[in-house]
A and B are shown apart, each in its own frame.
Chain A
Amino acid sequence: MMYAVTARRLAKDFKIPGASEPKRVLDNITFSLPMHDKIALVGPNGSGKTTLMKILATLYLPDEGDCSILGYDLVTEEAEVRKLISFVSPGLDFHRKLTLRETLEFFARAQKASPDPAFEFIEIMNLTHKLNDRIESFSEGQKALTRLAIGLMKDAPLVLLDEVTATLDVNRKEQVIEFLSTYLNGKTMIMVDHDSQVVDRLCERVMILNRGGTVARIMQAHDLIMELPYKYEIIMTPKKKFKKSEARRIWPDFGLFGGKVRFFAQKESEVRGIINRILSYGNFTKFEVSGASLHALSIRAAKPSDD
């Protein structure tokens, strides 16, 4: 079988100010990713998902182990690896004084690629009217789409997507999932995303990382989703302090955190019912619906000793 990524015993340490020993954030990461496979990295905060992505993107050097990407060694043949990968990171921000068009054209030239795929994506996302606007007028969601547009330019066989849908609203997220499900045909993809709907629709497999940066399990994405006790989350922000009894009247399966209430549902009909009750309750500033978060499940799936 041809593998797009083969990692063996990868490890990464970071110096922590004030600490005598460096902190190991990834340890003994071993996996193989077949060509055209799509896998999601999930795990609790501090499990090293983004660090692993940055190592695969050649941004960080691993301290131990070895890894080959599409037949090239990640460390000794990094220049070749970089021609074959496209990394979309939430850490990429833009110069506020440049327009969207100028930004896209700069990144196209820097990648020695055509900006056309990005312009097409921008058109699909109905952002063409923003092309001559400066980035300073963009919302976080629009910046996320700009990042993705830049990542599409290179038409790379290996795509690394780090939380690309995290700041998108429901409609945009749906548009992006639709687009990516076609775009990623014939490509290999590794993504970090907490939304089970995104992972379920875009990935075949899931790699669960423990806190401390070791691989807990690699499993089929669908099996993981089936393990979830709920499929949807409705997060509501009430105008005033919310009592448990009030929440229970809306829907019995809920959780309170911070100033917000999370309602959990299994079916779409339940979601509709919850939304209707929230609307009748009325005393809220906003609510949003998303797929169930993989975050909680990944914590459960990780080794108990690591938590």
Chain B
Amino acid sequence: MASYLSRFPTFNTIQNYAYSIFTQAMLAFLVAWRSLKIDFRYKFQLGVEIGWSYLNVIVFVGLGAAWSATGGDVQYVPYDMISFFIVGTAFFTVFNGVTDTTVTAIQEESQLGTMGFLITNNVTPSIVLFGRYIAATIKWTLVLILIVVPALLMRGMLPSSLELYEGILVTFVISWFFFAGITFLIASVSLLFKKTTTFNKVSMYLVRVIVGGIVPIFSFDSATQNSLGFKLSNILIWFPATFSIELMRWIFTVNSSASITSGGISKDGHSFSGFPEVYGIPIHSVGFGDFVIQFMLLLSFVFFAFSWFVVDRATRIARKWGTLEFY
């Protein structure tokens, strides 16, 4: 019995572990606070980023309008292509910006030698990355509010009920962990190799395509149904970021939360089946209580934890190769 009990961690071990997590979290917030100060002091860069985001919204809304004008709206779904692009652009304004800012900042920290100094003080690149990711999220969410919310207001696309706002929060949290994982994986490469700017861009571009940021995921359904016997969107939707962005589009477009499950009429008069009908996912609500939501959250979190582990491994290799700092 005694030996069985000795396998369990003692109270002191748990206490030390909890203290360690607490101090690491404090360090991440310290890095985040410093990063926010720096970001908002580079006013020209901030202006360019806001301008770039405006340009993105304008270009993609134009693309959506052109698509709709040529009769390109897709069957089953409650949104037209303008709505498709507005939500997609909003989504990627935040997560593309957050990933890009975080990875670039990590390269800057390496060039400045800060990364090396912090490592010699037991502050790991993962903590620096996480802190930078928090700061970038705050910055890009503010940019989003400045740019995309007015566009959504103009299209009358803000969610129609309070329950749907919970849905937005849910999808944001899923995506936040998922993109943290993507960011960590890309950053782990930048710890090992010196010039990774193009790699970063290519990686994010691929993610954008796979999650349906550029082309609707159901565009190829009939082709895959005929040739392979299944709908491609039914597979891609299990990818947490795809699930989030797709669910977000429904949330912004439907009249009520009930419409997501049972179908109905969208704000702009589209007749549609419910989300479960289209994707075959047994979703009953869009809150944290839904099983599918919990599953997606878990999936994202596990992916994020795995990426954290990869960064730690990459750090060790970088210490061996001497690529951790390159000034």
Contact = CB atoms under 8 A, between A and B. Distances in A.
Interface stretch (A79-87, A217-225, A267-275): A79-87
Contacts of B114: 92-95
Contacts of A300: none
B322 A14 contact: yes
Nearest to B128: A110
A109 interface: yes
Interface residues of A, number: 32
Given A60-B322, A98-B38, A89 B117 contact: yes
B112 to A, nearest CB: 4
A237 interface: no
A83 B122 contact: yes
A102 B116 contact: no
B113 A61 contact: no
A110 B325 contact: no
A306 interface: no
B120 A14 contact: no
A82 B120 contact: yes
What is the predominant secondary structure among interface residues of chain A facing chain B? loop
A260 B281 CA distance: 77
Interface string A33-64: 00000000000000000010010011111010
Contact of A92 (B34, B112, B321, B324): B112
Interface string A266-291: 00000000000000000000000000
B43 to A, nearest CB: 10
A106 interface: yes
B320 interface: yes
A106 to B, nearest CB: 5
Interface in A231-273: none
Contacts of B34: 95, 98, 102, 106
A14 B324 CA distance: 13
A13 to B, nearest CB: 9
A95 B112 contact: yes
Given A58-B119, A59-B120, A93 B327 contact: yes
A154 B104 CA distance: 29
Given A93-B327, A102-B37, A57 B122 contact: no
Interface of A: 14-15, 51, 54, 57-61, 63, 79, 82-83, 85, 87, 89, 91-95, 97-98, 102, 106-107, 109-112, 150, 154
Closest 4 CB pairs of A and B: A97-B41, A91-B113, A92-B113, A93-B112
24 contacts: A14-B321, A15-B321, A54-B116, A57-B120, A58-B319, A59-B116, A59-B120, A59-B325, A61-B320, A82-B122, A83-B122, A87-B117, A89-B113, A91-B327, A93-B111, A93-B112, A93-B113, A93-B114, A93-B327, A95-B34, A97-B42, A109-B30, A110-B123, A150-B117
Given A98-B34, A110-B27, 17 more contacts: A14-B321, A58-B319, A59-B120, A59-B324, A61-B316, A83-B122, A87-B117, A91-B113, A91-B116, A91-B325, A93-B114, A94-B112, A95-B38, A97-B42, A98-B38, A109-B27, A112-B23
